[in-house]
Amino acid sequence: MALTFAVSPRAASKARRPGPRGSALRRHLTGWAFAGPATLLVVGLSLFPAGWAFVISQAKWNGIAPATMVGWRNYEQLAQDPDMLAASGHTLLLTVLFVPSSIVLGILLAVALNQRIRLIGFYRTCIFVPYVASAAATGILAGFVFNPQFGAVNEVFRHLGIPAQQFLESPSQALYIVCLIALWGQVGFTTVVYLAALQDIPRELVEAATVDGAGKFRVFRHVTLPELRPVTVFTAVWQTITAMQLFDLIYTTTRGGPLNSTQTIVYYIYELAFQTQRLGYGAAAAYVLFAVTLLLTLVVIWYSRRRGAEVF
Amino acid sequence: MRVKLPFSPWHLLLMPLALLFVLPLVQMVATSFMTSAEINHFPPKLIPTALHLEGYRALLSETPVLTWLGNTVLVSTISVLGHLILCSTAGYGFARLKFAGSGLAFLAVVATVMIPMQLLMIPTYLMFARIGIVDTLAAAFVPWLASAFGIFLMRQFFLSLPGELEEAARLDGAGTWRTFVSVVLPLARPALATLTVFTLLSSWNDLLWPLVAISDDHRFTLQVGLASFQGTRRTEWSQLMAGNVIATVPLILAFLFAQKRFVATMAFTGLKG
């Protein structure tokens, strides 16, 4: 007993203060024990599959029969595939409509919700709450609200004397309605982001401008908007990615129809890979989507910076 | 103390917009309690004559919707727990611990943000098929156990903490793990709450990946189950809306009770993400 007591403090101090090399090794091991599991999981489930997807995109493969390597032929074929071109057109139109609208609406709503007026808590809750509803549920709900026979929108139109519309069942309207529904679900997000940014603007800045005799609109134009610029770069990028990758909403509203009028790139990839088992071709389409998203993101960043510099 | 505010013209903009955002959800709940006759009535009604439960009953008898709900709760819970454990430890590792390869590892994590899920779903499906977890709930939650966003969020938070408390704990003889669990984590509550909301929203609402990975209808998540039910019963509106209520009301309630937390999460995603 006495012996143990005599020995254990020394053993403990030895363990606590090992040699310099041992302590360095221990430090590295501790670091990896903390950061390793998540890093391995995240990197292992993205960089490795991304590389594999590239190999698959060079093959003709249905997942069962042996794959034949075809080089860049899938990509060449995609460039002439009328379905892919149509899907890209729809995706781009959706993005061009969705991104600016969600930014403009987000800024407008954030300014409105930043006022100190009665019911402001109620307004905020109402405008944010659709964001937490899933896109799948939103799509199913939209199918009801925009139903040509007994939907609420046509009912409102009837009272206003506007003829009933086909909405999601019309090839010429469906894509615009999908964009509208996506806005309903996503504007809460841009609004929150802009509201937070507005509240971050130092009060002195606005007060100084007001003291200098600037009207409310001029303060907004020359003080507030420039302060929101960095946030706008972010929201533009984020919303571009959201629009480019829209799938859930389309799956539960139109499934790409009517007459393929709402077929987006992601929906096409899903059909290719998981409905018709054309894995190689689907992977190539996914790489095209990746490249276009990356390119568009860079364009958005460049454009927001440049335009920001000119306008303000 | 109530301050009397003058009527503001902003109401003229906000009132109609607020209703535009919330009325569809009100109609969703109202329709779920209507009979088919009421739904097909002309002109349409907004309020049911009574709380009819036919829609819910039919949905319960025709689909395993409670199993789907259970699956979604399980997948979301495991995803949130995975994020809380793995992302907070990794965030702390990258923020505070100096170890070989940490710069490169963090760079790799950040780089993965650019890769869209749509590119990964084909190889991930094949990978999961090979290890035999396709068509199980594990397929739905494994990709959600940790995320680059979560690691980034926690790292940012730990970088913003002053280091003195950890120093003090270390001088008192606490090891790295003890310091992390008993000193750092309690301070990280706001960041952990943000992480929870982010993971809950993403995993609860995900459709594309579980749709791809799961085909057995007893292993569907709610979103997949509803989407597939809708594919076969396009006109059973009271059942569809009942399903929608089951899928959205838990998150809407969570949002109403913890609105500040949700809003902070959305704002964080935008301002720092």
Q: Which one, of B146, B156, B176, lies nearest residue B85 by Cα?
A: B146
Cα(B231)–Cα(B233) distance, integer angstroms: 6
Q: Do B124 and A45 touch (CB under 8 A)?
A: yes
Judge: A132–B255 Cβ closer than 8 Å, yes or no: yes
Chain B nearest C-alpha distance from A1 (Å) = 25
Strand partners, A120: none
Q: What is the pLDDT of residue A307?
A: 65
Which pLDDT does position B273 carry in this prediction? 47
Q: How far apart are CA A304 and CA A311, in angstroms?
A: 10
Q: What is the mean pLDDT of residues B182-209?
A: 93
What residues of chain A lie within 8 A of the CB of B176, using their CB?
30, 34
Least trusted range by pLDDT, from A126-130, A242-246, A294-298, B197-201: A294-298
Which range is most confident: A7-16, A265-274, B168-177?
Answer: A265-274
CA angle B149, B113, A245 (to 5 degrees): 105
Residue type, B61: S
Amino acid at B103: G
When pLDDT is averaged across residues A15-28 and rounded to a whole number, the result is 67
A144:B241 CB<8 A: yes
CB contact under 8 A, B116 and A31: no
Residue B159 near chain A (CB below 8 Å)? no
The answer to whether the Cβ–Cβ distance between A47 and B241 falls below 8 Å is no
pLDDT at res. B109: 92
Residue matched to tokens 């955002």: B21
pLDDT, tens only, A128-140: 999 999 999 999 9
CB of B240 less than 8 A from some CB of A: yes
Backbone angles phi, psi at A68, to 5 degrees: -110, 130
pLDDT at A14 over 60: no
Reading the block at residue A234, the tokens are: 């972010």
Name the token pair of A75.
């990509």
Bond before B43 cis per omega within 30 degrees? yes
Q: Which of A224, A56, A282, A33 is nearest to B85 (CA)?
A: A33
Q: Looking at this protein, which amino acid is placed at residue B115?
A: I
Name the residue with higher pLDDT: B80 or A293: B80
pLDDT in tens, B18-44: 999 999 999 999 999 998 888 887 777
Categorize the per-residue pLDDT at A312 as very low, low, confident or very high, splitting at 50, 70 and 90.
Answer: very low
pLDDT for position B4:
60
In terms of CA atoms, which chain A residue is nearest residue B124? A49
- What's the rounded Cα separation, in Å, for the pair B105 and B98? 12
Among candidates A43, A145, A247 on the partner chain, residue whose Cβ is nearest the Cβ of B108: A43
Q: Where are the beta strands (DSSP E) in B172-261?
A: none
Cα A81 to Cα B106: distance, rounded to the nearest angstrom: 39
Search chain B and give the residue with CA nearest A43: B109
Cβ contacts (< 8 Å) between B271 and chain A: which residues? 193, 196-197, 200, 231, 234
Cβ contact A252–B230 (<8 Å):
yes
Asked if residues B155 and B94 have their Cβ atoms less than 8 Å apart, the reply is: yes
Q: Using the beta-carbon criterion (under 8 Å), do A35 and B145 form an inter-chain contact?
A: no
Supply B141's token pair. 């939650």
Contacts of A310 (CB under 8 A, 6+ apart): none
CB under 8 Å to A166, separation ≥6 — which residues? A148, A173
Q: Which of A52, A123, A134 is nearest residue B247 as measured by Cβ atoms?
A: A134
Q: What is the ipTM, given to two decimal places? A: 0.91
- Determine if residue B43 is left, alpha or beta; phi over 0 gives left, psi from -120 to 50 gives alpha, anything else beta: beta
Smallest Cα distance from B219 to chain A, Å: 18
Tens digits of per-residue pLDDT, A52-73? 999 999 999 988 888 889 889 9
pLDDT at A21 (0 to 100): 59
CA distances to A30, A231, A246, B9, B65 from B220, rounded to whole Å, are: 39, 38, 21, 48, 9
pLDDT tens digit sequence for B117-170: 889 999 999 999 999 999 999 999 999 999 999 999 999 999 988 888 888 988
Contacts of A129 in chain B (CB under 8 A): 21-22, 25, 252, 255-256
A279: pLDDT strictly greater than 70: yes
Nearest-Cα residue of chain A relative to residue B114: A294
Asked whether the predicted pLDDT for residue B242 surpasses 80, the reply is yes
Q: Which of B93, B127, B263 faces A35 most closely, judged by CB atoms?
A: B93
Of the candidates B243, B255, B272, the one whose C-alpha atom is nearest the C-alpha of residue B66 is B243
Does the beta-carbon distance from B111 to A47 stay under 8 Å? yes
> Is A192–B94 a contact, with Cβ atoms under 8 angstroms apart?
no
A286/B122 Cβ within 8 A: yes
Interacting residues of A89 by C-beta distance below 8 A, sequence separation 6+: none
Beta-carbon contacts of A147 under 8 Å, excluding residues fewer than 6 positions away, are A154, A167
SS3 B60: helix
Distance CA(B50)–CA(B7), nearest Å, equals 37
- Is the pLDDT assigned to residue A210 strictly greater than 70? yes
B270 to A123: CB separation less than 8 angstroms, yes or no? no
CB B222 within 8 A of CB B69: yes
Residue B240 confidence class, pLDDT cut points 50, 70, 90: very high
Q: Which of B23, B99, B115 sits opposite A46 (nearest CB)?
A: B115
Give the CATH class of B70-189: mainly alpha
**Residue of chain A with shortest Cα separation from B100:** A28
Candidates B11, B22, B99, B226: best to mutate against A (most CBs of A within 10 A) is: B99
Chain B residues with beta carbon closer than 8 angstroms to that of A122: 18
Look at residues B57, B127, B153 and name the one whose alpha carbon lies nearest to residue A46. Answer: B127
CB distance A41 to B145 below 8 Å: yes
**Which of A23-32, A73-82, A204-213, B225-234 is predicted most confidently?**
A73-82
**B197 interfacial to chain A (CB closer than 8 Å):** no
Contacts with B146 (C-beta within 8 Å, 6 or more apart), sequence order:
A37, A38, A41, A42, B82, B83, B86, B87, B90
List beta partners, residue A59. Answer: A69
CB atoms within 10 A of CB B75: 23
| Residue A5: predicted pLDDT | 36
Q: Where are the domains of chain B?
A: 70-189
Sole residue written with tokens 């510099």 = A309
Instruction: Tell me the C-alpha to C-alpha distance, in Å, between residue A233 and each of A301, B111, B210, B244.
Output: 6, 19, 32, 34
Mean predicted lDDT score pLDDT of chain A: 87
User: Quick one: pLDDT at residue B6?
Assistant: 67
What is the pLDDT, as a whole number, of residue B272? 55
The domains located in chain A, with CATH, are 77-311 (1.10.3720.10)
Average pLDDT of the residues of chain B? 90
CA atoms within 13 A on the CB side of A155: 15
Hey, what are B113's tokens? 């943000």
